[in-house]
Copies of this chain bind each other. A is one copy, B any other.
Amino acid sequence: MKNLKKEDKLYIQTFREIRSYIIRNGLKGGDPLPTEAAMCQMLGISRNVLREAMKSMELMGMIQACPGRGTIVKEFNLDFIFQNVLFFTVGEEEEKSIKEMFGIRKMLELSYMRQAYLALTDDDIRQMRVCMQNIQEKWDEHKLFHAEDKAFHMTLFKSLSNGVLTSLMEAIWAVDDGFQIEEKEKHMDSTIAKHEAIVIALEARDYEAFAKAMENHFASGKYLNNNTYEEY
């Protein structure tokens, strides 16, 4: 007398029901969802199961919960997918994947550098100068400067106001963060010089020098993979 068909787990059914509820009622970004208690009663399930479904939604960016206030529907964006899911399969020990990812970052930065250059404001450039000083300080203290390096490059591209590109870059940097073991004391001084060259070119508003400095920046060890411009 049981189900003939193998039913999905309750929390998955619940996920679908909530999703259906949102669609059925035409809820858009910002619209409130009923409280947990109300939904439990409405669906006839326990709070734990409801939360398993709701938290799945929240993790994927479909809704957002706030204590004391309630839960609202969110507008969709790709951040979650890029930052938590896309590179899920990229193991940190898989050096090949890491190199591939660096290669993509290199390609993206070099491809977008023209637009970035055009979009950069004086304020952005000043900010990059500050990043340089922070990098220099870390270096003087014999510390790693991953965060500062990231801030430097993100500043360069945040001017493009391309949310997806930003997410993608964040995702790549996040993997880099877990990887950055090697080359601690190797060529950091030359890395600093390369960053310096980029800022100087920008401060002078010299695109040719900027492009050259960017190319040079990515011509070092960990970026040197199969992404070379070969002749055909």
State whether A232 touches B117 (Cβ < 8 A). yes
User: A48 CA to B88 CA in the complex, in Å?
Assistant: 24
**8 Å CB contact of A59 from B12, B20, B107, B229:** B12
State whether A81 touches B81 (Cβ < 8 A). yes
* Number of identical protomers: 2
Interface 0/1 of A66-102, CB less than 8 Å to B: 0000000001111001101111111111101100110
A213 at the A/B interface (Cβ < 8 Å)? no
State whether B85 touches A78 (Cβ < 8 A). yes
State whether A60 touches B62 (Cβ < 8 A). no
A164 at the A/B interface (Cβ < 8 Å)? yes
A155 at the A/B interface (Cβ < 8 Å)? no
State whether A163 touches B97 (Cβ < 8 A). yes
A207 at the A/B interface (Cβ < 8 Å)? yes
A15 at the A/B interface (Cβ < 8 Å)? yes
**A interface SS class:** helix
**8 Å CB contact of A52 from B55, B77, B90:** B55
State whether A86 touches B171 (Cβ < 8 A). yes
State whether A107 touches B114 (Cβ < 8 A). no
Which residues of the other chain, B, contact A97 by a CB distance below 8 angstroms? 76-78, 163-164
**8 Å CB contact of A87 from B62, B85, B118:** B62
> Closest residue to A90 on the B side, CB-wise?
B164
Which residues from 10 to 57 on chain A have a C-beta closer than 8 Å to any C-beta of chain B? 11-12, 15-16, 19-20, 22-24, 26, 28-29, 48, 51-53, 55-56
